[in-house]
Amino acid sequence: MSTSCPQPQPSIYLLWAFGDEETRLVIEAAHERAIVRVLEWIEDEVAAIRYGKDGVYRVRPPGGLVAARFRHYEARSGRPLLHDHVLLSVKGQPPEPTSEVLRETRPRHHPPERHA
């Protein structure tokens, strides 16, 4: 699984926490749309299933990504903080009926740690 925690900028979540109901709803709708757009981008530009001998074939996940999302309304400290945790499955359904591993085709931002 891969995980992400999208959250608004501090000034936005303060408006969300202390604003009126209409302001909160607008911010929550924008937050929701941002998450959808990021997941669409990952699905369209990053996610790929490699299959065949040595993974020579590459296709977009035909059924889309599998994700679980959990919305939280406060930070561990108890302060108001609208944020979502998103977990993405690294498994995808290839065109063939076997299960293959979903692989990123672009380098990650942080190289994996090496243990001696």
Which of 43, 48, 51 lies closest to 100 in space, CA to CA?
51
Which of 69, 113, 67, 58 lies closest to 90 in space, CA to CA?
67
Q: What confidence category does residue 19 fall into, taking pLDDT thresholds of 50, 70 and 90?
A: very high
SS3 113: coil
Q: Which amino acid is at 90?
A: V
Q: What's the domain count of the chain? A: 1
CB 94 within 8 A of CB 101: no
Among 21-30, 45-54, 62-71, 91-100, the range scoring the smallest mean pLDDT is: 91-100
With respect to residue 116, please indicate whether it lies within any of the assigned structural domains: no
**Residue-number span of the structural domain to which 27 is assigned:** 2-104
With respect to residue 10, please indicate whether it lies within any of the assigned structural domains: yes
Q: Which of 7-11, 29-33, 78-82, 99-103 has the highest mean pLDDT?
A: 29-33
With respect to residue 39, please indicate whether it lies within any of the assigned structural domains: yes
Regarding pTM above 0.85, the answer is no
Residue 116 is encoded by which pair of tokens? 């001696």
With respect to residue 109, please indicate whether it lies within any of the assigned structural domains: no
